[in-house]
Amino acid sequence: MTNLSSHWTNETLKQQIGQMIVVRASGHLFDQQIRYPTWEAPNAQLHHWLQTLNLGGVILLGGTGAELSLRTQQLQQWSKTPLLIAADIEEGVGQRFSGATWFPPPMALGSIAKRDLGQAIRCATQMGVTTAQEALSIGINWILAPIVDVNNNSENPVINIRSFSNDPEIVSHLATAFIDGAKTYKVLTTVKHFPGHGDTSTDSHLDLPIIPHKMSRLAEVELVPFKKAIEAGIDSVMTAHLLIKAWDEQKPATLSKKILTGQLREKLGFEGLIVTDALVMGGVANYASSEEVAVMAVEAGADILLMPNNPEKTIEAIYQAVESGRITSERIEASLARIWHAKQKTSTTFYSFDNQPLSSLNQLSQPRAKQTVTHVLQYSGEKGGNLPLKSKYRRRNLIVVDDLLNCNFLDRQTPAVIIPERLGYNLQLVDENTLNFVLEDNRKTLLQVFVRGNPFRGNAGLTDRAQKTYKKLLKYKIVKGLIVYGSPYVKDWFLSETKVVKENLPWVFSYGQMTEAQNISCNTLFGLSEISCNLKDTFL
């Protein structure tokens, strides 16, 4: 590869601005596989953008690890300038791309840290090592993790168990451990969402949350992990679409020069990449036109604009802002320099994307990674009541998920289905839209609830309708066993219902929802195997 820094000086201003844009694309290879057409351009459009706009990068979602290995090569070949290829892989590569390692949510590590901080740090470090190794093996060079939001609001609908903890010190320790582990490989890491999205009850994907805290509170809680991550050498910081009244009463953090330049750059001394959260999110998309939002973000100090609504119009708007003098050419050059420096740190700059060997796929789901997943699940899980659950006739395995059309952790052969089936339980699978029908069946029931905070969900735990249904199931003594996967706040709600405790109902809780979590939880509930929680006897 040629020297990109000198190369960019020969590009037009619009092509230089293109380096500041990262667009969303499907991880699948073919257009008919695209799941989110509103955000993911078809291949012809994407090819055109990469060849003519000189875009800086792509953020991917969907597909298998094997597909990603081919997809990232394809995208790099379409672009004349090496791309930053990013993914939201806060829980490992397997969270987004099947076949790779999917770790339990960060809060599982936080729960371990409350009992054994050293053990949790070792797990977080290994999580960082594995995530970076697997990401790089399939062509991802920019990890949009770890989250350093301090989730001290149980009603937080979007961060929730994506956070390590409600304790800023635990968050700091585990986030820096993840960063240290990821540094083993030439990938970029990111902390998010600056200056802290943990204490909100509004999802910024849908609307603009307001943080009313004073500067002293921000310094004592929200900013602590960001400071530690900067000291640990984090490569990039993602902004939050939040209104922080103590710093700027008018503009969301993503669009505020007072916050991105004044606080993050000047006060905290961060010199790496500032990347916006997705600009299609309601937290800023509702603030102004998409073109004006992009210009304001650059004015504020952002280097990378993530998922603008239309990259061509975005580039044109920033170009016109420079031509008119609203944005200086020096401001663009500063971002280009940081982008160039970031690309030098990855294997992107001098990596050959031709004929990537299939042997790279052997890096996915290695034994040590699987062992880490199992140990974190075992050591962070909880159980209670009169275990094990004794089998009886006329049994129902009632599985409740948020959305049956978006449920990548269940299929016919997953343990939550197959283990109860082998014990004589008949499956009933429902979601929020079909939950009312479960009351028509009075068979003795194993209730398995898969629920967690997620973007666009709009709710941190159980809806009012779900709570009413579960209360009736408990009241009529239909539920004979309970497994909750995901949110500890949902588990706490069930335990607060007197019927669970009073009747000594056998229950199991797991932070994870993946196959390994289901296997451990079902085996624990039915007493099918003995599970050890002693991590110190293994590699840790």
What is the rounded distance in angstroms from the CA atom of residue 228 to the CA atom of residue 238?
15
Mean pLDDT within 225-234: 97
213 is catalytic: no
Neighbours of 468 (CB within 10 A): 14
Give the pLDDT confidence of 101-152 residue by residue, as tens digits: 999 999 999 999 999 999 999 999 999 999 999 999 999 999 999 999 999 8
Q: Which residue from 528, 529, 527, 533 is spatially nearest to 387, judged by alpha carbons?
A: 527
For residue 438, being part of any structural domain is answered with yes
pTM of the model: 0.92
Q: What Rg value do the Cα atoms of the chain yield, rounded?
A: 24
Residues 6 or more apart from 36 whose CB is under 8 A from it?
A: 24, 26, 61
What's the chain's length in residues? 540
What is the rounded distance in angstroms from the CA atom of residue 240 to the CA atom of residue 285?
13
Q: Are residues 277 and 391 in the same domain?
A: no
Q: Is 90 exceeded by the pLDDT of residue 30?
A: yes
What band does 199 get if pLDDT is binned at 50, 70 and 90? confident
Q: How would you classify the pairing of strands 210-211 and 243-244?
A: parallel
Q: Are residues 344 and 462 in the same domain?
A: no
Give the pLDDT confidence of 51-96 residue by residue, as tens digits: 999 999 999 999 999 999 999 999 999 999 999 999 999 999 999 9
167 is catalytic: no
Active-site position among 193, 205, 241, 375: 205
Could you tell me the sign of the dihedral formed by the alpha carbons of 375, 380, 386, 390, in that order?
A: negative
Q: Are residues 121 and 33 in the same domain?
A: yes
Q: Collapse the DSSP code of 477 into the 3-class scheme (helix H, G, I; strand E, B; otherwise coil) and give the result.
A: coil
For residue 369, being part of any structural domain is answered with no
Q: Is the peptide bond before 146 cis (omega within 30 degrees of 0)?
A: yes
Neighbours of 155 (CB within 10 A): 14
Residues 6 or more apart from 273 whose CB is under 8 A from it?
A: 188, 235, 236, 237, 303, 304, 338, 339, 342
Q: Are residues 343 and 447 in the same domain?
A: no
Q: Which residue from 76, 144, 133 is spatially nearest to 356, judged by alpha carbons?
A: 76
For residue 8, being part of any structural domain is answered with no
Q: Are residues 333 and 423 in the same domain?
A: no
Mean pLDDT within 406-431: 94
What is the rounded distance in angstroms from the CA atom of residue 474 to the CA atom of residue 9?
68
Q: Are residues 387 and 356 in the same domain?
A: no
What is the rounded distance in angstroms from the CA atom of residue 449 to the CA atom of residue 483?
6
Q: Are residues 152 and 214 in the same domain?
A: yes
Residues 6 or more apart from 85 whose CB is under 8 A from it?
A: 57, 58, 59, 60, 72, 75, 76, 139, 140, 141, 142, 348
Q: Are residues 355 and 391 in the same domain?
A: no
Q: 129-153 as b/e, with b when 16 or more CB fall inside 10 Å?
A: bbbbbbbbbbbbbbbbbbbbbbbbb
Residues 6 or more apart from 44 whose CB is under 8 A from it?
A: none
Q: Are residues 397 and 357 in the same domain?
A: no
Query: Which tokens belong to 442?
Result: 């009075």
Q: Are residues 406 and 322 in the same domain?
A: no
**How many domains is the chain built from?**
2
| Element at 112 (helix H, strand E) | helix 106-113
427: containing domain? 381-537
| Element at 448 (helix H, strand E) | strand 444-451
Q: Are residues 357 and 387 in the same domain?
A: no
Alpha helix ranges (H) inside 305-462: 311-323, 329-345, 367-380, 415-422
Q: Which residue has the higher pLDDT, 3 or 262?
A: 262
Residues 6 or more apart from 391 whose CB is under 8 A from it?
A: 423, 424, 526
Q: Which residue has the higher pLDDT, 463 or 325?
A: 325
Query: Rounded to 5 degrees, what are φ and ψ at 177?
Result: -65, -45
Among candidate residues 333, 363, 393, the one where a domain is terminated = 363
Find out whether 104 and 92 touch, Cβ atoms under 8 Å. Answer: no
What band does 359 get if pLDDT is binned at 50, 70 and 90? low
Mean pLDDT within 398-426: 93
Supply the CATH number for residue 53's domain.
Answer: 3.20.20.300
Supply the CATH number for residue 436's domain.
Answer: 3.40.50.10870
Neighbours of 305 (CB within 10 A): 27
Query: Which tokens belong to 31?
Result: 């257009």
What band does 284 get if pLDDT is binned at 50, 70 and 90? confident
Q: Is 70 exceeded by the pLDDT of residue 351?
A: no
What is the rounded distance in angstroms from the CA atom of residue 136 to the CA atom of residue 69?
9
Query: Which tokens belong to 212?
Result: 């009313």
Q: How far, CA to CA in Å, does 131 sit from each of 128, 139, 156, 334, 466?
A: 5, 12, 26, 30, 35
For residue 288, being part of any structural domain is answered with yes
Among candidate residues 316, 336, 363, the one where a domain is terminated = 363
Q: Concatenated DSSP letters for 329-351?
A: HHHHHHHHHHHHHHHHHSSSTT-
Active-site position among 149, 248, 277, 402: 277
For residue 297, being part of any structural domain is answered with yes
CA angle 246, 255, 330 (to 5 degrees): 120
Q: How would you classify the pairing of strands 305-306 and 243-244?
A: unpaired
Q: Which residue has the higher pLDDT, 502 or 385?
A: 385
For residue 246, being part of any structural domain is answered with yes
* Distance of alpha carbon 379 from the chain centroid: 22
Find out whether 165 and 171 touch, Cβ atoms under 8 Å. Answer: yes
For residue 497, the model assigns a pLDDT of 87
Q: Annotate 162-225 with three-state secondary structure.
A: HCCCCCHHHHHHHHHHHHHHHCCCCCECEEEEECCCCCCCCCCCCCCCEECCCHHHHHHCCHHH
Q: Is 50 exceeded by the pLDDT of residue 34?
A: yes
Among candidate residues 337, 363, 389, the one where a domain is terminated = 363
For residue 24, being part of any structural domain is answered with no
Q: Are residues 317 and 192 in the same domain?
A: yes
For residue 394, the model assigns a pLDDT of 73
Find out whether 503 and 529 touch, Cβ atoms under 8 Å. Answer: no
For residue 5, being part of any structural domain is answered with no
Q: Which residue from 263, 262, 254, 348 is spatially nearest to 302, judged by alpha carbons?
A: 254
What band does 348 get if pLDDT is binned at 50, 70 and 90? low
